[in-house]
């Protein structure tokens, strides 16, 4: 009896460490959220390349500053857009500066899934800061390098997607790919994040994707975002994200 | 013919083999014959207007648009909006649909305080409201919006449209069925009536109707009665088989030839098999009936039949073929294809009637002459009897010719395409809904082309075109991208017009990018945009006159414009430019007043008054100065202010000092700010005044513009009697007048090169000249174009057919009197059809040509049969001709039961042609040919 008990205990101790090491979906998602937000503020130059399903292409260049929910975007190219600036202070309030009118306009958008300037990104996509706030995760599968998490919209979440499927890097917990699904459960778009650049974050390094490709599943329309001149934690104060600053030239 | 008959009988196996080989080849090509049941496929593909229609349709998606609609007592209830949303989502989810749009998924931009806008769904995405106040709010959002009322919702609030845009390259039949299925399921069990419209929906309806139980029964009845009667009239089973085989193979060879030529069958040309059968059967029946009436073995009877009527049968095939080829003179592929197909079919029938039919008939055994119903009905009609009455019959024939000929000239030109569909059917009910709720179904576009159609000068022309269209009777709900920009400019900047400078338009465009509705009005390269509207009826009597007026609107668009920035012009020109702006404002206002008050305005006084408002320095009274001061103060206190002021700083003195600067310049403003603002604020942000100055100058300029606009409105109300009351009653007129008068505030004048030269004294530089072209397109334009061309085409074809007929009949009869008699028969038959069309109110349409070809085919057969018998001194073949025509008349009369108008008409006129051909040939030919019978 005692021997059988010892064998049992031995077997248990062999199994339990691996049980203790396996991460839950909640834990993975929490780490993912932490990895995404491993900075206080960030600035970059973005080149947005839009490819229509007809083959026609368009390119825009802008400078972006981020701090929490706040976002300041100043367009620099093409010439027709140069000087236009956008300021988001929260998920539903935007200010736009139109240089031809020399006026700042407040645009209160109550439409979360409205596309952003003809791209495949919506206001909502760009406003998601923490998946854990609005989604409940389930670990679908994993391989040597990645976790596949299915995150389902929480009942009270004001998100237009019913679920997302995230491919999360096991080492860095950054999201490498997101599949977005509508209320009918159909995949509507895919976002692929690649060409990661590691820069020092709040804790350790912060891998930032320098290429983000969003593809519409139905139309084949594609938007590619290239991010350059990435810097984080420059110490941007809240005053930087002001209407006044919308009109001032690019720093 | 006797030698031919003997050869055929002797070598009948060879005949069968040859026919089999030719039929196999024809069968291969016929099997590959492509069909395209899209209604657009009947249009002449190479016609420049049709090419432009297709290109524009592809560019703006109108080629791929279908619609569904929901009608209820009140659209704006929770239940009905829920149904509409379910229908919209169901349509959007169908594979092959690019998007589906209705008021339930549209965004709305509304002003939300000074210079702010709020973007939200018209109907909240997270749930349809249940409270009456919220539903009422949605009602106002929709029905007070000129771009929605009449376009996506009926102005009475009872019906809503769902615009469904398909991906290119979809199969119309599959898409139509799939969309209807999905939408019906979504609406199942809910209140309201569902409608469907658009090419794919109609193709689905036609497919289901043609393949439906009703049509199957009708066709079965038609062919069943026809075959039974044919058998009874011929009197022999083998004769029936020979007739049907001839007609069937002639049809196969005809389709095979078209397949080898690369022709595609469409909705119109798909009736070719029916036509070939109708004209082919009498040719073989002539031989079969003659063989049945003879005595002897099968071979002997066959030789006799071919000897007697082989020439007539072959001649009928040849003559009908010749007449059909007259279709080549008509500049419409559907006629040309029908003509070629019928020519090949009838020629084949003639050949088969003297080869295959005799070969089959020769298998009959020894028989006595067969007497059939035809003999009982018509056997009593003799040549002598007819000759005896020719003094009556011939004049009667001439009277019939004259009377029906006169009636034929009165044939109606007013075509209503809805007459193709049965009353109460889906397309008819949808058309009725579109007419009562949405200004009609006949969407047309004025396509405007320029290097950049967003240029203010081009947008102004689109706006003018819209105003002109609003003044045309039966043209409804015009809109263009100019309207979208006016709405955005009004909501964002409180300027009720299109932006007057290209930089402003580029900035506005930023807000519009990616919106699906925009893609339907302007292409992504910005080289083409459309002003689109609907014509309120589908009848050509409405479409025709409307199209004439629409073409006048197109002609009024100048081909060249010069856009002049008034900021750069010398001061000695400013008065003239002010006058130019005033003239443009009055031009627009004149169109508004004509629409709203149905009168023209006296423009001289008004133009002078508006020009003075623009050119003269405004007198700033205390009220205006106070308004300006308040706006300065509001800016300085706002979060937007370019100078960060302490919360407790009183901006009033600064605002007041600024307000007393008349026509302030930026340096003057900077000086005031530096004088009035706290030193520590200026030290903190020395650049602040530099950034604030242009804003403050802008506030002043905007205030002056508002004042000027107010004064212009007062002037207009004063000068135009009744305008104030009309504007108070009609929000749309109010908005339009407001927009017209804002023109005098424009920083840019858009004039013709001639006007530019008149004002400046020099020609504009080429770089400054904007070129634009306008062209109308759309279903109504293409249909109207074809409709107008039809009489000329029919005259050309008819004239050529007459000549070819005369030649063919002369070759067939070999006598002048025979030619005259046969030609008279054919002409009387044709004219009776046309006269009857007038009596029945059937308009001149594409189907008219087909009816005439049938008449020619049937009358040629019967006339040649009678002429041939007279030449040989044979008894009048009344029973034989009766056997040729009566089964066709009675059998195909059952087609009148068909649900589709075109097929029912064919039934009527096939019967009429057969009876007229029978009567004319028996009444006219013996009276004429008998006198001149050759040896």
Domain spans, chain A: 23-247
What is the per-residue pLDDT for A53?
65
| pLDDT band per the 50, 70, 90 thresholds, residue A18 | very low
Domain A23-247 - what CATH class? mainly beta
Please indicate whether, in this complex, the C-beta atoms of B119 and A107 are within 8 angstroms of each other: yes
- If asked whether residues B595 and B686 sit together in one domain, one would say yes
Instruction: Tell whether the model's pLDDT for residue B575 goes beyond 80.
Output: yes
Summary mean pLDDT of chain B: 90
Query: What token pair was written down for B161?
Result: 């449209």
> Which of B845, B820, B815 lies closest to B401 in space, CA to CA?
B820
Q: Give me the residues paired with residue B533 across strands.
A: B444
The answer to whether A96 contacts chain B (CB < 8 Å) is yes
Query: Could you give the angle at which helices B688-719 and B603-615 cross, rounded to 10 degrees?
Result: 160
Lowest mean pLDDT among A86-95, B328-337, B810-819: A86-95
First to last CA, chain A: 77
Interface of B with A in 888-927 (CB under 8 A): none
Please indicate whether, in this complex, the C-beta atoms of B116 and A243 are within 8 angstroms of each other: no
Please indicate whether, in this complex, the C-beta atoms of B93 and A184 are within 8 angstroms of each other: yes
Query: What token pair was written down for B472?
Result: 């045309």
Please indicate whether, in this complex, the C-beta atoms of B119 and A115 are within 8 angstroms of each other: no
Interface of B with A in 683-702 (CB under 8 A): 691, 694-695, 698
Q: How many CB atoms are located within 10 Å of the residue B548 CB? A: 11
- Residue B711 located in a structural domain: yes
**pLDDT, tens digit, 9 for 90 and up, residues A169-211:** 999 899 999 999 987 788 889 999 999 988 888 888 888 899 9
Please indicate whether, in this complex, the C-beta atoms of A110 and B118 are within 8 angstroms of each other: yes
- If asked whether residues B639 and B612 sit together in one domain, one would say yes
- If asked whether residues B139 and B73 sit together in one domain, one would say yes
**ipTM for the whole complex:** 0.82
Higher pLDDT, B804 or B41: B804
Residue B107 backbone phi and psi in degrees, to 5: -95, 150
**pLDDT, tens digit, 9 for 90 and up, residues A133-176:** 899 999 999 999 999 999 999 988 888 889 999 999 999 899 99
What is the arithmetic mean of pLDDT over B752-774?
94
Q: What is the CATH number of the domain that holds B355?
A: 1.20.1640.10
The answer to whether B297 contacts chain A (CB < 8 Å) is no
The CA distance from A228 to B518, in Å, is 32
The CA distance from B822 to B864, in Å, is 7
Out of A80, A110, A116, closest to residue B119 by CB: A110
Residue in A closest to B117 by C-alpha: A107
Tell me how many domains chain B contains: 3
> Which of A137, A136, A134, A139 lies closest to A124 in space, CA to CA?
A134
Residue in B closest to A218 by C-alpha: B98
What is the per-residue pLDDT for A26?
92
Residue B198 domain boundaries: 48-210
Greatest mean pLDDT among A64-68, B78-82, B268-272, B492-496 lies in B78-82
- If asked whether residues B637 and B680 sit together in one domain, one would say yes
B116, B117, B507, B516, best to mutate vs chain A, most A CBs in 10 Å: B507
Helices (H), chain A: 2-21, 25-36, 123-127, 131-134, 243-247
What is the per-residue pLDDT for B930?
65
Please indicate whether, in this complex, the C-beta atoms of B117 and A244 are within 8 angstroms of each other: no
**pLDDT, tens digit, 9 for 90 and up, residues B212-270:** 888 889 989 999 999 999 999 988 898 999 999 999 999 999 999 999 999 988 888 88
What is the arithmetic mean of pLDDT over A22-48?
89
| pLDDT band per the 50, 70, 90 thresholds, residue B103 | very high
Instruction: Tell whether the model's pLDDT for residue B396 goes beyond 60.
Output: yes
Please indicate whether, in this complex, the C-beta atoms of B506 and A81 are within 8 angstroms of each other: yes
- Residue B480 located in a structural domain: no
Please indicate whether, in this complex, the C-beta atoms of B121 and A110 are within 8 angstroms of each other: yes
Contact A32, A173 (CB under 8 A): yes
What is the arithmetic mean of pLDDT over B504-524?
85
What is the per-residue pLDDT for B297?
83
b/e per residue B629-658 (b: at least 16 CB within 10 A): bebbbebbeeebbbbebeeeeebeebbbbb
Out of B119, B501, B504, closest to residue A109 by CB: B119
Q: Give me the residues paired with residue A222 across strands.
A: A51, A215
- Residue B852 located in a structural domain: no
The CA distance from B95 to B521, in Å, is 25
Instruction: Tell whether the model's pLDDT for residue A109 goes beyond 80.
Output: no
What is the per-residue pLDDT for A17?
43
The CA distance from B926 to B382, in Å, is 9
- If asked whether residues B9 and B111 sit together in one domain, one would say no
Interface of A with B in 153-172 (CB under 8 A): 158, 160
What is the per-residue pLDDT for B35?
84
Annotate B314-340 with DSSP letters as a single string: HHHHHHHHHHHHGGGGSS-HHHHHHHH
Residues of A in contact with B493 (CB under 8 A): 101, 103
What is the CA B874 to chain-centroid distance, rounded?
A: 55
- If asked whether residues B265 and B203 sit together in one domain, one would say no
- If asked whether residues B202 and B241 sit together in one domain, one would say no
Summary mean pLDDT of chain A: 83
The answer to whether A216 contacts chain B (CB < 8 Å) is no
Please indicate whether, in this complex, the C-beta atoms of A103 and B115 are within 8 angstroms of each other: yes
Q: Tokens 């706290």: give the residue.
A: B678
**B376: buried, middle or exposed (CB in 10 Å: 19+, 13-18, 0-12)?**
exposed
Last residue of a domain, one of B728, B751, B774: B751
**pLDDT, tens digit, 9 for 90 and up, residues B69-94:** 999 999 999 999 999 999 999 998 89
Last residue of a domain, one of B193, B210, B227: B210
The answer to whether B119 contacts chain A (CB < 8 Å) is yes
**pLDDT, tens digit, 9 for 90 and up, residues B408-465:** 999 998 888 888 898 899 999 999 999 999 999 999 999 999 999 999 999 999 999 9
Q: How far is CA B854 from CA B343, B573, B829, B914, in A?
A: 12, 73, 10, 9
The answer to whether A243 contacts chain B (CB < 8 Å) is yes
- If asked whether residues B15 and B55 sit together in one domain, one would say no
What is the per-residue pLDDT for B147?
87
- If asked whether residues B194 and B62 sit together in one domain, one would say yes
- Residue B481 located in a structural domain: no
Please indicate whether, in this complex, the C-beta atoms of A106 and B117 are within 8 angstroms of each other: yes
Instruction: Tell whether the model's pLDDT for residue B935 goes beyond 60.
Output: no
**pLDDT, tens digit, 9 for 90 and up, residues B751-761:** 999 999 999 99
- Residue B697 located in a structural domain: yes
- If asked whether residues B581 and B663 sit together in one domain, one would say yes
> Which of B191, B87, B77 lies closest to B129 in space, CA to CA?
B77
- Residue B156 located in a structural domain: yes
- Residue B108 located in a structural domain: yes
- If asked whether residues B677 and B737 sit together in one domain, one would say yes
- If asked whether residues B185 and B63 sit together in one domain, one would say yes
What is the arithmetic mean of pLDDT over B11-31?
93
The answer to whether A14 contacts chain B (CB < 8 Å) is no
Lowest mean pLDDT among B279-288, B395-404, B925-934: B925-934
Give how far A127 is from chain B: nearest CA, Å: 17
Residue in B closest to A122 by C-alpha: B514
A-B C-beta contacts closer than 8 Å: 97
**pLDDT, tens digit, 9 for 90 and up, residues A212-235:** 999 988 777 889 999 999 988 888
Contact B852, B905 (CB under 8 A): no
The CA distance from B41 to B44, in Å, is 8
In the 8-state DSSP scheme, what is residue B55?
Answer: H
Query: What token pair was written down for B689?
Result: 């005044």
What is the CA A44 to chain-centroid distance, rounded?
A: 15
What is the arithmetic mean of pLDDT over B636-659?
91
Last residue of a domain, one of B730, B751, B772: B751
- Residue B130 located in a structural domain: yes
The answer to whether B168 contacts chain A (CB < 8 Å) is no
Instruction: Tell whether the model's pLDDT for residue A117 goes beyond 70.
Output: no
């Amino acid at each position: 009896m005692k021997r059988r008990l010892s064998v049992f205990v031995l077997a248990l101790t062999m199994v339990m460490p691996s049980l203790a090491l396996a991460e839950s979906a909640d834990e993975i998602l929490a780490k993912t959220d932490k990895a995404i937000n491993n900075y206080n503020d960030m600035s970059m130059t973005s080149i947005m390349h839009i490819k229509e399903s007809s083959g026609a292409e368009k390119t825009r260049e802008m400078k972006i500053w981020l701090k929490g929910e706040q976002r300041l975007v100043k367009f620099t190219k093409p010439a027709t857009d140069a000087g236009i600036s956008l300021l988001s202070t929260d998920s539903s309030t935007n200010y736009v500066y139109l240089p031809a009118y020399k006026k700042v306009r407040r645009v209160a958008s109550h439409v979360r899934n409205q596309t952003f300037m003809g791209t495949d990104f919506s206001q909502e996509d760009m406003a998601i800061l923490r998946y854990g706030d609005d989604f409940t995760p389930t670990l679908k599968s994993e391989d040597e390098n990645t976790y596949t998490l299915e995150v389902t919209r929480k009942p009270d979440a004001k998100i237009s997607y019913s679920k997302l499927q995230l491919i999360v890097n096991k080492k860095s917990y950054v999201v490498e790919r997101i599949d977005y699904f509508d209320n009918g459960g159909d995949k509507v778009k895919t976002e692929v994040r690649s060409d990661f650049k590691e820069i020092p974050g709040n804790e350790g390094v912060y891998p930032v994707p320098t290429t983000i490709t969003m593809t519409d599943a139905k139309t084949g329309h594609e938007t590619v975002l290239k991010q350059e001149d990435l810097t984080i934690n420059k110490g941007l104060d809240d005053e930087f994200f002001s209407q006044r600053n919308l009109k001032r030239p690019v720093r | 013919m006797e030698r031919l008959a003997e050869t055929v009988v002797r070598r009948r196996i060879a005949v069968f083999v040859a026919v089999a080989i030719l039929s196999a080849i024809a069968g291969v090509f016929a099997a590959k014959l492509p069909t395209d049941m899209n209604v657009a496929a009947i249009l002449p593909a190479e016609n420049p207007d049709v090419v432009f229609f297709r290109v524009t349709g592809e560019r703006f998606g109108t080629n791929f648009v279908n619609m569904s609609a929901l009608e209820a007592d009140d659209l704006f209830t929770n239940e009905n909006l829920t149904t509409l949303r379910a229908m919209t989502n169901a349509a959007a989810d169908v594979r092959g649909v690019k998007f589906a749009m209705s008021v339930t998924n549209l965004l709305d931009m509304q002003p939300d305080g000074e210079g702010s806008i709020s973007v939200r769904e018209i109907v909240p995405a997270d749930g349809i409201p249940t409270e009456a106040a919220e539903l009422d709010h949605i009602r106002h959002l929709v029905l007070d919006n000129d771009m929605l009322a009449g376009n996506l919702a009926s102005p009475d609030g009872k019906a809503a449209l769902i615009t469904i845009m398909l991906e290119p390259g979809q199969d119309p039949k599959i898409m139509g069925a799939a969309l209807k299925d999905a939408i019906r399921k979504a609406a199942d069990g809910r209140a309201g009536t569902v409608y469907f419209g658009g090419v794919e929906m109609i193709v689905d309806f036609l497919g289901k109707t043609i393949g439906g139980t009703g049509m199957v029964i009708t066709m079965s009845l038609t062919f069943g009665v026809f075959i039974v009667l044919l058998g009874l009239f011929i009197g022999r089973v083998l004769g029936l088989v020979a007739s049907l085989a001839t007609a069937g193979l002639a049809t196969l060879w005809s389709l095979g030839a078209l397949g080898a030529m690369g022709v595609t069958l469409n909705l119109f040309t798909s009736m070719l098999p029916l036509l070939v059968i109708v004209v082919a059967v009498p040719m073989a029946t002539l031989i079969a009936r003659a063989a049945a009436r003879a005595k002897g073995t099968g071979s002997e009877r066959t030789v006799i039949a071919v000897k007697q009527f082989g020439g007539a049968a072959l001649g009928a095939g040849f003559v009908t073929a010749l007449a059909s080829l007259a279709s080549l003179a008509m500049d419409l592929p559907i006629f040309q294809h029908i003509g070629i197909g019928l020519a090949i079919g009838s020629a084949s029938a003639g050949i088969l009637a003297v080869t295959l039919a005799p070969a089959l008939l020769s298998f009959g055994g020894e028989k006595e002459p067969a007497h059939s119903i035809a003999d009982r009905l018509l056997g009593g009609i003799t040549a002598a009897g007819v000759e005896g009455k020719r003094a009556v019959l011939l004049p009667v024939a001439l009277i019939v010719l004259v009377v029906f000929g006169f009636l034929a000239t009165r044939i109606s030109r007013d075509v209503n395409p809805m007459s193709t569909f049965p009353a109460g059917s889906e397309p008819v009910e949808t058309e009725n809904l579109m007419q009562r709720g949405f200004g009609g179904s006949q969407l047309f576009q004025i396509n405007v082309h320029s290097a950049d159609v967003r240029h203010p000068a081009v947008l102004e022309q689109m706006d003018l075109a819209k105003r002109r269209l609003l003044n045309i009777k039966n043209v409804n709900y015009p809109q263009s991208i100019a309207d979208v920009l006016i709405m955005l400019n009004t909501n964002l900047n409180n300027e009720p017009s299109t932006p007057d400078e290209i930089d402003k338009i580029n900035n506005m465009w930023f807000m519009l990018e990616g919106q699906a509705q925009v893609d339907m009005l302007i292409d992504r390269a910005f080289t083409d945009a459309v002003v689109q509207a609907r014509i309120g009826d589908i009848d050509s009597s409405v479409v025709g006159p409307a199209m004439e007026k629409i073409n006048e609107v197109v002609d009024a668009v100048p081909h060249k414009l010069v856009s002049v920035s008034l900021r750069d012009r010398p001061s000695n020109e400013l008065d003239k430019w002010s006058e130019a702006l005033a003239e443009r404002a009055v031009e627009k206002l004149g169109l508004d007043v004509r629409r709203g008050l149905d009168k023209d305005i006296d423009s001289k006084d008004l133009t002078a008054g508006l020009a003075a408002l623009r050119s003269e320095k405004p007198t700033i009274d205390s009220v205006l100065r106070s308004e300006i001061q308040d706006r300065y103060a509001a800016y300085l206190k706002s979060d937007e202010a370019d100078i960060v002021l302490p919360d407790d700083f009183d901006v009033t003195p600064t605002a007041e000092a600024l307000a007393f600067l008349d026509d302030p310049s930026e340096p003057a403003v900077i000086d005031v700010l530096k004088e009035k603002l706290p030193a520590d604020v200026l030290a903190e942000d020395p650049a602040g005044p530099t950034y604030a100055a242009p804003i403050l100058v802008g506030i002043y300029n905007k205030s002056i513009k508002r004042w000027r606009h107010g004064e212009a409105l007062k002037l207009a109300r004063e000068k135009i009697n009744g305008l104030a009351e009309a504007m108070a009653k009609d929000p749309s007129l109010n908005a339009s007048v407001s927009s017209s008068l804002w023109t005098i505030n424009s920083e840019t004048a858009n004039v013709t090169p001639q006007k530019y030269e008149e004002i400046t004294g020099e020609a504009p530089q080429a770089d400054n000249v904007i070129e634009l072209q306008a062209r109308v397109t759309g279903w109504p334009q293409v249909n109207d174009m074809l409709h107008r061309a039809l009489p000329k085409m029919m005259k050309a074809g008819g004239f050529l057919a007459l000549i070819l007929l005369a030649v063919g009949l002369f070759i067939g009869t070999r006598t002048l009197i025979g030619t005259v008699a046969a030609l008279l028969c054919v002409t009387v038959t044709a004219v009776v059809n046309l006269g009857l069309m007038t009596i029945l109110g059937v308009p001149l349409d594409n189907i008219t040509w087909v009816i005439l070809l049938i008449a020619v085919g049937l009358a040629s057969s019967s006339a040649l049969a009678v002429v041939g018998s007279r030449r040989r001194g044979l008894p009048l073949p009344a029973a034989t001709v009766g056997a040729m025509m009566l089964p066709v008349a009675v059998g195909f009369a059952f087609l009148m039961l068909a649900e589709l108008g075109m097929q029912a008409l064919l039934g009527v006129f096939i019967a009429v042609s057969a009876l007229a051909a029978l009567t004319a040939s028996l009444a006219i030919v013996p009276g004429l040919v008998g006198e001149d019978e050759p040896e």
